[in-house]
Chains A and B, each alone.
Chain A
């Protein structure tokens, strides 16, 4: 079964997104910020990461850049899931190695569509 790490400082978002991603056939884990996510990735890389941008301790953008430096850190498919909708933010995320980008609010159709576009389902 594929694995997905859900990284968001909101417990509600982690829970809602987790349920949707589980319905897509993933085993899920979560983290409250980029640092916690990075620590988990150092132990075992997930197949996918759904990550918020703005978070305390380490934001999603810094997490992505650190993740891509890890051995095999280019393997996980990273989908941003954030309220940032500025084109420049999106371009930055793609330049840093994000595979797809979700603008909040989201629903199950959007996550499924974006995971499909990223080749995850």
Chain B
């Protein structure tokens, strides 16, 4: 395959470095074909005469917007509806029933982190809708976040091709949650109303996001460099409320670090956020009651959420 490629090796190496620095993602050595096809499309859409012209412009001018567009195109996941079946099983069988049981009613927030073109995010909304009475009284808001990109614009549009809706999506879900829109299929308004998309830098501090009762983060972890993996998981840990959930993809795990989570044994790739606990200081000379004190590490967040339940 490499013989058919036209991009000079030095360009490819420069793009690999850029992607690692900006997104923390290792492109690997066998992604040259992907680089060419995805970036050639972007170059055409942005009006450059060639792929090389676009890359030259990037490295001469250092345009941030162009750099983000290029890195977004390179790191976009090839995804489809309900791609990670284990993660959706965990959401349906463990996470949503537990959150419903604990809260009874009120409002919860779910995050689809690295949502690409939105299939995962809409899949979460469809899962909630299908559970119906099982989640009686529970209102669920779902946020999908990713780098600003054409994929994210497709997510916002909620419009999918004939091929998109036939990969991973049960036909009954197509009937229930989509309507024909020309040659494409549009997500029905009731599902779109439960979903919001935001563009963020996934390796940023994430402090522009509120906290969530569960975060789904599937399929990206193995592509991150080790430092980026630590950074993104720390960031996510800060977003998940106590006793909330982190749902990773099938075969993914937190490795040796726990980031404040405990593994949920019934669900592979499922983690639950621990209580933040301060053990009382022990004064050997004083008699202190045994026990423990819990505190909320972010009181401002708690205040903000007080009216949401």
Residue A91 CB within 8 A of the other chain: yes
Which residues from chain B contact A113 at a C-beta distance below 8 Å?
80, 166-168
A interface list, Cβ under 8 A from B: 85, 87, 90-91, 94, 100-103, 105-107, 109-110, 113-114, 117
Which residues from chain B contact A85 at a C-beta distance below 8 Å?
162, 180
Say whether A94 contacts B175, CB under 8 Å: yes
Which residues from chain A contact B166 at a C-beta distance below 8 Å?
102-103, 106, 110, 113-114
Task: Decide yes or no: A110 and B171 within 8 Å by CB, A85-B180, A87-B180 being known contacts.
Answer: no
State the total of A-B contacts with C-beta under 8 angstroms.
35
A106's nearest neighbour on chain B, judged by CB, is: B166
- A90, A91, A100, A107: the one contacting B163 at CB < 8 Å is A107
Which residues from chain B contact A102 at a C-beta distance below 8 Å?
166
Say whether B175 contacts A90, CB under 8 Å: yes
Residue B206 CB within 8 A of the other chain: no
Chain B nearest CB from A93 CB (Å) reads 8
B163-211: which residues lie under 8 A (CB-CB) from chain A? 163, 166-168, 170-172, 174-175, 179-180
B52-76: which residues lie under 8 A (CB-CB) from chain A? none
B interface list, Cβ under 8 A from A: 80, 162-163, 166-168, 170-172, 174-175, 179-180
Most chain B CB neighbours (cut-off 10 Å) among A100, A103, A109, A117: A117
Say whether B171 contacts A90, CB under 8 Å: yes
Say whether B175 contacts A100, CB under 8 Å: no
Bound CA–CA A45/B148 (angstroms): 52
Chain B nearest CB from A1 CB (Å) reads 25
Say whether A110 contacts B174, CB under 8 Å: no
Say whether B174 contacts A90, CB under 8 Å: yes
| 19 pairs of residues in contact across A and B, judged by CB atoms under 8 Å | A85-B180, A87-B180, A90-B174, A100-B170, A100-B171, A101-B171, A102-B166, A103-B166, A105-B162, A106-B166, A107-B163, A109-B163, A110-B167, A113-B168, A114-B166, A114-B171, A117-B168, A117-B170, A117-B171
Task: Decide yes or no: A94 and B180 within 8 Å by CB, A102-B166, A113-B166 being known contacts.
Answer: no
Which residues from chain B contact A114 at a C-beta distance below 8 Å?
166, 171
Say whether A91 contacts B162, CB under 8 Å: no
Say whether A91 contacts B167, CB under 8 Å: no
B80's nearest neighbour on chain A, judged by CB, is: A113
Task: Decide yes or no: A109 and B180 within 8 Å by CB, A87-B175, A91-B175, A103-B162 being known contacts.
Answer: no
Which residues from chain B contact A94 at a C-beta distance below 8 Å?
171-172, 175
What are the 9 tightest A-B residue pairs by CB atom distance, in nearest-first order?
A101-B171, A110-B166, A113-B167, A117-B170, A100-B171, A113-B168, A90-B175, A109-B167, A91-B175
A87's nearest neighbour on chain B, judged by CB, is: B175
B173's nearest neighbour on chain A, judged by CB, is: A117
B183's nearest neighbour on chain A, judged by CB, is: A85
Bound CA–CA A117/B81 (angstroms): 12
Most chain A CB neighbours (cut-off 10 Å) among B166, B167, B180: B166
Chain A nearest CB from B64 CB (Å) reads 36
Which residues from chain B contact A110 at a C-beta distance below 8 Å?
163, 166-167
Chain A nearest CB from B167 CB (Å) reads 5
Besides A102-B166, A113-B80, 6 new A-B residue pairs in contact (Cβ under 8 A), listed by A number:
A90-B171, A100-B170, A101-B171, A110-B163, A113-B166, A114-B171
Which residues from chain B contact A103 at a C-beta distance below 8 Å?
162, 166
